[in-house]
Structure 1
Amino acid sequence: MDSTDADSSPSVEQGFEGQTNPGFWRQVTLRSMAIAAVLATIFSLVTLRIYMTIGVVGALNMPANVLGYFSVKSLVAMLRRYGIAAAPFTRQENIFLQTCVMTCVNVAISGGLPNYIIAMNSHVAKSLSNHPDEQDIIDHVPTGQYALFLFLTGLVAVTSMLPLMQVMIVDYRLPFPTGSVVAHLINSFHTPQGAYVAKMQVAAILKTFLGSFSWSMFQWFYSGGEHCGFQSFPMFGLGLYKRRFFFDFSPSFVGLGMIVPHVVNFGLLFGAITSWGILFPFLESKRGQWYHTDSTSSLNGADGYKIFIGITMIITEGLFNFIKLLSVSSIDYYKKRQENDSGKIKYMLTSPSLNYDDRKRLEVLVGNQIPLFVPVVGYIGCAIICSVAIPWIFHHVTFYHMALLFVILPIFTFCNTYGTGLTDWSVAQTYARFLLFIIAALIAKPGAIIASLAVCGVAVAALNVSSQAMQDLKTGYMTLTNPRAVVAGHIYGVLIGSIINPCIFLAFEANAKNSAPIGSKDSEYPCPSASIYRAIGLLGKRGLDQLPDHCITFCLFTFLITLAVETLRLVSQKNDWKLQNFIPCITAIALPYLTGPYYSIDMTLGSVLLIIWDKMNRKSAELLSSAVAAGLICGDGIWALPSSILSIFNVHPPVCMKFLASGQQVHIVDSFVNTLETH
């Protein structure tokens, strides 16, 4: 909700009238820090697992809110039951807890493990080129150095957005939709009616969590080999199974499908059918005519078409949205400057009709301002340290590359954060991919790909974390939370994120099969985004000469189609046509081109279940669907931890379940099994 709401709107703060606003140390508490570390581990684990599998992850703010609220409320109730005094759990402490958890999750998303860090290894390099340059390969970044990289880039993000807080939230009164929705949710939780709804949601989470965890554990017993178990269930027949159309019984993807918009899920299914069902079989029939290599790991062959058609769709949509957001932001910025809206004090003085809620919020913000020199000095200091430390971690990067990046980064931060505040859409990935291509093209020699990936990584981490941090500050503003407490939550989230996420990745490495390590196409964690990032770097370094015949034509055709679809979406939104709800998401269509179609079936099933639930009982679906989805995702995701521990101790699944076509193959297998000794 914008801060300019009319006075006729129901007052939120009058419901909390009589409650004293807690001080800094009642908002930043040790109990919230401890619970935040636990929840951050869970949600980072889930986020990384999903991101490393399909390359996209839904927003987990709502599940994190529900679990955070329930965790502290339960702790307080338990302490009081045993006669131990415990301070009440306030919405301000809830904001601090939420900020810590989501900052850690954002560090996981933008920290590079699912994309640009994995793009540096030999498995991804060999999937795009038969003979990759050894100087453009880093198979392992030491855990300590990587943790330092995450911590420094996270601090850069936090310090770069702090000077923009007053401008974005008060002067220009940007809505920041996600931050506003989370604020409304937390405000409602801390009223008597909200507590009842929270209990219902938590009960739904616990039930689905236990069911999802138990099902994942059951599936594990039958996955004792490559392509074994329910994860490769040929529901549509063995013919389509060879085209990777199968149902893998994944609660995570079904739950994710209930959170992600329907248009995205059906876009994934459409992309799966058009790519693996139609286009790829056609391209394979052209082997020997349009390309002459049988290798499945070369951009000179069929992979060149698959990867660059997908990349063209993603980059075109990203650039279209970037131009749209830049235009909208510029017009909005110009109008606000014309209003001479130059500060919070002037805004208060010139608005005698300012409603009660906004006046209370401004008082808290004014009384707890962070001096401007603190973030400015912090940014300069972090930039200098990063310019020295990052070339030490990635030797292909120079001090001058980093210094130039930190000079222009505040401009990108302002543009990206302003656009996010207006539309809830961050284009950090577009900025990063643009920098990736430019740096690779400028260096254009061995080591260019590693250097460009490292620079790109700093940019995407700084831009993504900073825009999401501003969402948290908007949430804090609407809940009378001390902005210093929110910033403390950001710093603590960056700190635990730089420790937790590398450790989680080590667990994934231990869990991955030796024959299919992380980043390889046959891996349980293929990291599809990594191929995109490396392919862009290769294109910048080598130019277009390496691509197979007619690949540029296909990419041009894809560019025009994407442009037409995005223009149609923009026009339909502007004119409020119903058609806008049925125009597919181009990035969603592109993902199966790079990863395969299997997860799109699960996610579409999640959408179908939600649609049916909504038709049967809309109120129940609105209240509980996010909670059910959170339980499904967390239960399946948490099983990755015990399975990783079992793998470390060489405890493997005892059974391999596979499916065969009927006929002679069955008789051969039966004959072989009958020859085995039984005990």
Structure 2
Amino acid sequence: MSDQVLLRLLGDIRWRGDDLPVPGEPVGAAGRRHLVGHHVASDRAEEGRLVLGLKPSSLRGIVGYRVFISIALILGDGLYNFLKVMSKTVAALVMQVRGMMSEATLPVSSSNHHQGQEEETFDDQRRSELFLKDQIPTKLAVAAYLVIAVVSVATVPRIFHQLRWYHVAASYVIAPVLAFCNAYGCGLTDWSLATTYGKLAIFTVGAWAGASEGGMIAGLAACGVMIGIVSTASDLTQDFKTGYMTLASPRSMFVSQVIGTAMGCVIAPSVFWLFYNAFPDIGMPGSEYPSPNALVYRNMAILGVQGLGSLPRHCLDLCIAFFVGAILINLARDLAGPRAAAYIPLPMAMAIPFYLGPYFGIDMCIGSLIRFTWDRLDPARAKAFAPPVASGLICGDGIWTLPQSVLALAGIKPPICMKFLSRANNIKVDQFLRAHSS
């Protein structure tokens, strides 16, 4: 049945819920487009019969296009930035090898004098001396990494049974190379690509384990292992650089990291338990805390395990187009210059609303308007104080969730409920209240 014939047959159909048509009043243009979307996206038999009854969350319907197109944008943006960072990393490494820098010399060292730069200052000499004097022994670092790897190989498969011990071992073998690339690239560009390496683990381990052996859970668990190693390397390197600039001991910085990580092992599960019990729908789309990244990574795992067969019809063609488009948009931003790049959108920012939805648009619009006005009135102060103001707003909003969770666990409901109604519905509500109050 062609789409034109299908449209003519929609005159005596109305909609019940989100998916199922029933005989009755005409559907209208919006409903026709909705059904045609299902007609294109759903599985059809060889004679062209339309298959209805898809769940609203089914990846074989319109949700599949929305999900995988946004994933294509994210992967295209991530691949471009990955290649960009790696090219800068390789170029910097080649320059260092050509400069014949010694192992015990820091970036701000006397070898810079041989390259025609200014001679090292007394403060830089003090920093270099203190930093090199209090190094962590290489043997100790390697031994500690091996111990942690053995513990992970023994314990992680017991938590996630779909993840085998050799999956974890392979992740720990590959992770040091990726961690070095991420730490060095983050130092050059201030851009951590830990999540990109985690996505690679999703696809590789998920395909390695296979769908019959729980490859989706295995890929997601391996992603967590990879991100934990790679992101820690870049974060610790940044802390070492901070310690170098502030004349702090590298060992003190490392011990502080260990203490903070140990605290996180207790605090993070406790906070998760608090949220999990206070908000039963946490992580679900449309809830107060939708956790859009969870949906992104889940669908990546599905794609890695099931392959391209899990995509709706023509979705692969659209994904390729948006993937290439994300790369071209990033390339245009880099070639256009900073002034023109401000008017070229970020593919990652374009992809996120596919998951978050429009509910945060008002917040972003108000914040952008305040920042724009501030930049116009006082550019110097706006540049200096905008990050602290944003940090305060983010921290305040995040800290409030803890007492909110405690109140929810105690069963205390908010005393005020605010809703926005149309004029017609507001009149009906007023009439209902007057009728029941008399």
TM > 0.5 between the two? yes
**8 Å contact kept, 1:344–1:362:** no
| Structure 2 match to 1:304 | 64
Aligned position for 2:271: 504
Aligned counterparts of 1:357 and 1:482: Cα–Cα separation in 2: 15
Residue 9 of structure 1 aligns with which residue? none
Structure 2 distance, partners of 1:328, 1:477, is 23
Please state how far the C-alpha of 1:408 moved relative to its aligned partner: 1.0
Please identify, of 650-659 and 523-532, the stretch whose mean Cα deviation from structure 2 is larger. Answer: 650-659
Residue 72 of structure 2 is aligned to residue 288 of structure 1: no
The structure with the larger Rg is: 2
Match of 2:86 among 300, 316, 326: 326
1:351, distance to aligned residue in structure 2 (A): 6.0
SS at match of 1:582: coil
2:406 corresponds to 1:655: no
Query: Offset of 1:370 from its aligned partner?
Result: 1.4
- Aligned match of 2:161: 395
The farther-off stretch of 375-384 and 461-470 is: 461-470
After TM superposition, give the deviation of residue 282 of structure 1 in Å.
6.4
The CA deviation at 1:654 is 2.9
Say if 1:439 and 1:452, in contact at 8 Å, map to a contact too.
Answer: yes
Q: Any stretches of 5+ residues in structure 2 without a counterpart?
A: 1-30, 43-51, 114-118
1:609-667 per-residue CA deviation (whole Å, 9 max, x = no partner) reads 1121122122332333233223322333222122211111111113333222222x345
SS of residue in 1 equivalent to 2:342: helix
Pair 1:591 & 2:355 matched: no
For 2:196, which of 430, 437, 453 is the aligned residue?
A: 430
| Alignment RMSD | 2.4
> Any conservation in 2 of the 1:509–1:518 contact (CA below 8 Å)?
yes
Q: 1:408 to 1:631 in 2, by over 3 A?
A: closer
Residue identity matched to 1:361: R
Amino acid of the structure 2 residue aligned with 1:463: V
- Which among 457, 462, 475 is matched to residue 242 of structure 2? 475
Matches within 5 A, 1:88-487: 286-291=37-42, 292-344=52-104, 350=111, 353-444=119-210, 445-487=212-254
Q: Which amino acid aligns with 2:363?
A: D
The 5-angstrom pairing of residues 27-42 of structure 1 reads: none
Shift in CA distance, 545/283, structure 1 to aligned 2, threshold 3 Å: farther
Partner of 1:520: 284
* Contact 1:312–1:559, Cα closer than 8 Å, also in 2: yes
Q: Give the whole-Å Cα distance in 1 for the aligned partners of 2:145 and 2:382.
A: 44
Deviations 1:498-550 (A, max 9, x none): 111111222222332x4xx1111121111100111110111111122222222
Residue 493 (1) aligns with residue 260 (2): yes
1:601 to 346, 362, 379: 362
Measured in 1, the distance between the counterparts of 2:91 and 2:111 equals 23
Code of the residue aligned with 1:549 in structure 2: it is: R
For residues 610 and 281 of structure 1, do their structure 2 counterparts lie closer, same or farther at Cα, with a shift above 3 Å needed?
farther
Letter in 2 for 1:560: V
Aligned residues between the structures: 393
**Which residue of structure 2 lines up, in the alignment, with residue 569 of structure 1?**
333
**CA distance in 1 between partners of 2:396 and 2:106 (Å):** 51
Q: What TM-score, normalized by structure 2, do the two folds share? A: 0.84
Q: Summarize the Cα distance change of 1:323–1:387 in structure 2 as closer, same or farther, 3 Å threshold.
A: same
Gaps of 5+ in 1: 1-279
Question: CA 1:450–1:345 in structure 2 vs 1: closer, same or farther (change >3 Å)?
Answer: closer
Q: How far apart are the structure 2 equivalents of 1:615 and 1:349? A: 44
Instruction: Tell me, yes or no, if structure 1 residue 627 matches structure 2 residue 391.
Output: no
Once residues 415 and 112 of structure 2 are traced to their aligned partners in structure 1, the CA distance between those partners, rounded to angstroms, is 71
Q: Counterparts of 2:325 and 2:34 in 1: how far apart (Å)? A: 19
Contact 2:76 2:324 in 1 (8 A): no
Percent identity reads 36
Residue type of the partner of 1:428?
A: A
Shift of 1:669: 2.9
Question: Aligned partner of 1:385: which letter?
Answer: V
The one-letter amino acid of 2:242's match is T
